[in-house]
Structure 1
Amino acid sequence: MTQYQGYLLDLDGTMYRGDEVLPGGADLVRRLVEAGIPYRFITNNSSKTPEEAADKLTQMGIAAAADHVITSSMAAADYLLRRHGTVRVFAVGERGLFHALTRAGHQLTEDRPDVVVIGIDREITYEKLAAACLFIRDGAAFIVTNADKAIPTERGLMPGNGALAAAVETSTGQAPVVIGKPEEPLTTTAMASLNLPKEQVVLVGDNYDTDISAGFAAGIDTLMVLTGLTSREELTQKQQQPDYVVDDLTEWEVVT
């Protein structure tokens, strides 16, 4: 087993499911803290600030501070800085997205934006989608925090950000730049935060199509944990396999 100097950890399905802590998650983080190994929680969820995400983890007994969390909103703000500098943004989303964009120095506007950024918005309206379409047709760049078509809730699978973005893409004919897993921008931001060579980092996740595929795209070793979305049976059907597979995180040894 390789000695890794840094960890990228998915949240839902890996660390917890809803309000339930999954086996081994809190203990893995405790062992990383004791070994002095840096880690980042990476999530496609654009709705929460890093402080809010860290607070939820802390309440579950998982050691976390805001600087341990990298959200797709933060990665979107970082992507815009790297590609365009500070820009005028029309943002469709929730608190986490607005917080990340303004903290990075971007200006939120409803008048002639340079960029339209769409994150999950559980108070979406036709007018918000219409405005996004008009701005994109007028030349604004089109960014989405993530392309998840559905999100798990207590009520079942609900429309995800990918469903909202699809309406805008269908109307405008313009495909967006996707920030979240499995695309590279989120892992790029997280890796920059760790400041380690990719050979020294492992990405841990439960969803083959987002987490594990993000590791493949970034050239990072991957650990598949079978506590979430992807089952062992589904995994056997995949052509490219993760570097490691465990039933839950109690089986994973932190090598120091």
Structure 2
Amino acid sequence: MNERAMKGLLIDLDGTLYHGTTMIDGADRLIHYLRNESIPYRFVTNNSASSPEEVANRLEAMGIPATSEDVCTSAQATAQYVAGLQPKASVYVIGESGLHEAIQDAGLRITDQFPDFVVQGIDRNLSYERIAQAVRYIREGATYILTNPDLLLPSTNGLIPGAGSIGAMLKAASGKEPVLIGKPSSILMDYSLTQLGVPNQDTWVVGDNIATDIAAGIAADCGTLLVLTGLTTAANYSSYSEAARCKPDLICESLEALIQTVSNHR
């Protein structure tokens, strides 16, 4: 049993609190418990397409209490990272509304000509012309930032290519490695810790994916707790942990078990 205190939680979403548009049993009770006990938490997602308001509305529609202030997205972390490197920088964006909004909110300037940075996330209306421009700018010296490495993401029609798949094309064509923001990178986690206001030694990362959630928590020196509610199950745990080359500090079979674990670690 890991005795690190649980004074704050960074919680994954898809596979941890819901599947598609269906809440996982206990997700609403978990959030009510955290609120009632005044335990700080943030929802942390690699999603760069949606704004925090859109993510919160989606959770509320499933019955999971949420506000936009509870949400930390890879788009927000990306924008803050770029602004920290170069305030008011010019940015060529491949992405959807959530990424555009985050870039503008950070005081950065979106441009289609001679950018300082190429920032790329998921873009379901992407054209070959915009890919070609991005490659040209990266090869000419623009810093390439990738919001998240997810190769696939769920949709109503099954799995579709994610930001990582677009990134694989940009990387191959430009010959440049991107700066990775989303899980398993610690950059998204560091941004989320700042929003949470709890030191990493007292914060636990909760998720269902060893290769992203748990690896990111380890990279940020947080406690890590795997829930067997989504991608990882008791049957595939050994193979997944071996492939990811890491293991969580704790494992909970359900969200009800997670509530009890948090209570035991107060």
2:248 counterpart of 1:242: yes
Q: Contact 2:92–2:134 at 8 Å: present in 1 too?
A: yes
Q: Corresponding residue for 1:112? A: 114
2:64 counterpart of 1:62: yes
Q: C-alpha displacement at 1:156, in angstroms? A: 2.3
Q: Contact 2:215–2:246 at 8 Å: present in 1 too?
A: no
Q: Corresponding residue for 1:160? A: 162
Following superposition of structure 1 onto structure 2, how do residues 1-256 of structure 1 map, counting pairs within 5 Å? Answer: 2-237=4-239, 238=241, 239-252=245-258, 253=260, 254-255=262-263, 256=266
Between the aligned partners of 1:3 and 1:30, the Cα distance in structure 2 is 20
Q: C-alpha displacement at 1:214, in angstroms? A: 0.4
* Structure 1 unmatched runs, 5+: none
Q: C-alpha displacement at 1:3, in angstroms? A: 3.8
Q: C-alpha displacement at 1:226, in angstroms? A: 1.0
Between the aligned partners of 1:36 and 1:119, the Cα distance in structure 2 is 34
- Superposition RMSD in Å: 1.2
Structure 1 counterpart of 2:249, one-letter code:
D
CA offset digits 1:83-111 (Å, max 9, x no partner): 22221000001000000000010000001
Between the aligned partners of 1:21 and 1:226, the Cα distance in structure 2 is 15
Any idea what SS the aligned residue of 2:88 has?
coil
Structure 2 counterpart of 1:249, one-letter code:
L
Structure 2 counterpart of 1:102, one-letter code:
Q
Q: Contact 2:210–2:247 at 8 Å: present in 1 too?
A: no
Between the aligned partners of 1:37 and 1:160, the Cα distance in structure 2 is 33
**Distance of aligned partners of 1:232 and 1:86 in 2 relative to their CA distance in 1, 3 Å threshold:** farther
Q: C-alpha displacement at 1:2, in angstroms? A: 4.9
Between the aligned partners of 2:216 and 2:202, the Cα distance in structure 1 is 16
Any idea what SS the aligned residue of 1:143 has?
strand
Choose 20-29 or 227-236, whichever is displaced more: 227-236
Between the aligned partners of 1:231 and 1:94, the Cα distance in structure 2 is 32
Between the aligned partners of 1:171 and 1:236, the Cα distance in structure 2 is 36
Q: C-alpha displacement at 1:215, in angstroms? A: 0.6
Between the aligned partners of 2:225 and 2:161, the Cα distance in structure 1 is 28
Q: Contact 2:210–2:246 at 8 Å: present in 1 too?
A: no
Q: C-alpha displacement at 1:153, in angstroms? A: 2.4
Number of residue equivalences: 256
CA offset digits 1:68-89 (Å, max 9, x no partner): 1000000000111222222100
Q: C-alpha displacement at 1:158, in angstroms? A: 1.3
Normalising by structure 1, we get a TM-score of 0.96
Structure 2 counterpart of 1:240, one-letter code:
C
